[in-house]
């Protein structure tokens, strides 16, 4: 790639929900930046190129792919998967970005006070401390729980909303709000956003409240199965609950620690909503009722 007057933005995870949405929003600001899609699949990259879209191959598990992918890149969006490999992946990528002359990095982290002992929260803080010590200008975006988790990791089980944290609420944020904030920050660049931490939380809901919304939305009774982390641990031990295939064992164990700390009240500091979406985008965030209505068919499919 060759540098142009228009900043080029490398978007990790462009085949997933968040990365694809970031690209979509960036493409809605033509002339401001050039989004460059990424995938570890060469076939996917070649297909994008055939469609006259900017695309490069990058494999976070193979740092040798980093220099070519970063050639001519001005800004970088970093998000990693549900794996403890996020630590060495991001460290190596930040180093390569420095070497390639990237000027600005936007990192997708977690909603935290920075002192959580939950391992995956600590991993994100380590990554952010490393980014802060680099030569890159940076912005961190901290979303609370993705509403889209209800279509994947936290999908309905046997027609029930399983909630292993008693009556505790957590914050929720829609993927499109996350992606729109990330895209705006990437498009406007470091002059407007360097050194900022943007926290995203639009609704506070527990399992019972989620089930009530879902029942209203899909028009079928969806009960809440309210459990404790100990109940969940027994389900895991009995083989009744397993981690998603894209989540490694260390990360899966960390999510159980998060559930336990939430249940114990150690995460109560995070039970807040934020004005970030309105402040940055000039509109109200997507509320859970609207999100559920938009995804009604996907939710119904879980009941079939």
Per-residue pLDDT of 91-107, as tens digits, reads: 999 999 999 999 999 99
pTM: 0.96
The residue length of the chain stands at 304
Q: Containing domain of residue 121, as a range? A: 8-146+172-202+272-286
Q: Binning pLDDT at 50, 70 and 90, where does residue 4 land?
A: low
Tokens representing residue 82 in the block: 């549900």
Q: How many domains, the chain?
A: 1
Tokens representing residue 127 in the block: 């990554």
Check which CATH number belongs to the domain holding 114 and give it. Answer: 3.40.50.720
Q: Is residue 240 part of a domain?
A: no
Long-range contacts of 24-32 (CB under 8 A, 24+ apart): 24/179, 25/179, 25/180, 25/182, 25/183, 25/184, 26/183, 26/186, 26/187, 28/183, 29/183, 29/187, 31/6, 32/6, 32/187
Per-residue pLDDT at 29? 85
Arithmetic mean of pLDDT, 58-78: 98
Q: Is residue 39 part of a domain?
A: yes
Per-residue pLDDT at 241? 86
Coil, strand or helix at 70: helix
Q: Is residue 226 part of a domain?
A: no
Tokens representing residue 131 in the block: 């980014």
Cβ(290)–Cβ(202) below 8 Å? no
Q: Is residue 59 part of a domain?
A: yes
Q: Is residue 66 part of a domain?
A: yes
Q: Is residue 56 part of a domain?
A: yes
Per-residue pLDDT at 1? 44
- Burial of residue 133 (CB within 10 Å: 0-12, 13-18, 19+) is exposed
Q: Is residue 239 part of a domain?
A: no
Q: Binning pLDDT at 50, 70 and 90, where does residue 243 land?
A: confident
CA distance 107 to 71: 19
Q: Binning pLDDT at 50, 70 and 90, where does residue 2 land?
A: very low
Q: Is residue 180 part of a domain?
A: yes
For 28, left (φ over 0), alpha (ψ -120 to 50), or beta?
alpha
Arithmetic mean of pLDDT, 130-136: 98
Give the HSE-up count for residue 113: Cα atoms under 13 Å, Cβ half-sphere. Answer: 10
Task: Give the residue from 140, 194, 125, 200 showing the smallest Cα distance to 170.
Answer: 200
Cβ(37)–Cβ(109) below 8 Å? no
Torsion of CA 112, 115, 118, 119, to 10 degrees: 100
Task: Give the residue from 251, 137, 113, 258 showing the smallest Cα distance to 189.
Answer: 137
Residue 242 has pLDDT above 50, yes or no: yes
Q: What is the DSSP letter of 283?
A: S
Per-residue pLDDT of 166-223, as tens digits, reads: 999 999 999 999 999 999 999 999 999 999 999 999 999 999 999 999 999 999 999 9
């Amino acid at each position: 790639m060759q540098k142009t007057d228009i900043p080029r933005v490398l978007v990790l995870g462009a085949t997933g929900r968040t990365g694809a949405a970031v690209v979509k929003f960036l493409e809605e600001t033509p002339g401001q930046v050039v989004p460059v899609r990424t995938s570890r699949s060469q076939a996917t990259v070649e297909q994008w190129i055939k469609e006259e879209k900017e695309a490069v191959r990058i494999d976070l598990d193979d740092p040798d792919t980093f220099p070519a992918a970063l050639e001519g890149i001005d800004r970088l969006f970093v998000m990693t998967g549900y794996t403890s490999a996020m630590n060495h992946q991001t460290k190596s990528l930040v180093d390569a970005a420095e070497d390639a002359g990237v000027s600005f990095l936007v990192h997708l982290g977690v909603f935290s006070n920075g002192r959580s002992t939950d391992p995956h929260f600590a991993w994100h803080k380590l990554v952010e401390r490393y980014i802060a010590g680099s030569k890159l200008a940076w912005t961190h975006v901290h979303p609370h729980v993705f509403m889209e988790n209800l279509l994947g990791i936290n999908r309905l089980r046997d027609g029930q909303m399983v909630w292993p944290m008693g009556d505790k609420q957590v914050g929720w944020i829609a993927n499109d709000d996350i992606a729109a904030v990330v895209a705006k920050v990437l498009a406007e660049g470091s002059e407007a956003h360097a050194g900022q931490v943007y926290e995203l939380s639009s609704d506070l809901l527990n399992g019972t409240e989620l089930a009530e919304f879902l029942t209203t939305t899909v028009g079928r009774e969806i009960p809440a199965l309210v459990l404790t982390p100990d109940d969940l641990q027994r389900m895991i031990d009995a083989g009744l609950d397993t981690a998603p295939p894209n989540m490694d064992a260390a990360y899966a164990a960390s999510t159980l620690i998060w559930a336990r700390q939430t249940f114990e009240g150690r995460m109560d500091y995070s039970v807040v909503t934020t004005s970030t979406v309105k402040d940055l985008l000039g509109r109200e965030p997507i509320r859970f009722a609207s999100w559920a209505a938009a995804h009604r068919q996907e939710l119904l499919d879980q009941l079939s």
